[in-house]
Amino acid sequence: MNALRNKVQLIGNLGNDPEIVNLDGGSKLAKFSIATNETYKNAKGEKVTDTQWHHVVAWGKTAEIVENYLTKGNEVAVEGKLTHRSYETKEGEKRYVTEIRCNELLMLGK
């Protein structure tokens, strides 16, 4: 049981062009969302597609790859870990975010 860890693997399509943030010190942060689809038949036998959106962040060299090669619609495989964080808006509201911190990225399709 000591081999259990926080690991996520997803294959999906980018919903928008990645957002690139250049940080102090020269490092990069890439933020993007991918959609995954699951198709099943409901009780009436109708085909239903359920789309889930996942927020992904990549740092350093992986962020550079995202910046140079990925655009809206690209199919990618990402591997990373789930992270949870919170922040406060300008209005003082507390918001919670769950995202995938990408360790590895594989470009699929064309």
pLDDT category at 26 given cuts 50, 70, 90 is confident
pTM of the entire predicted model: 0.84
Domains of the chain, by residue range, sit at 8-108
Mean pLDDT of 40-47: 92
Burial class (CB in 10 A: 0-12, 13-18, 19+), 77: middle
CATH class of 8-108: mainly beta
Q: Residue 34 — pLDDT band, cuts 50, 70, 90?
A: very high
pLDDT value, residue 107: 94
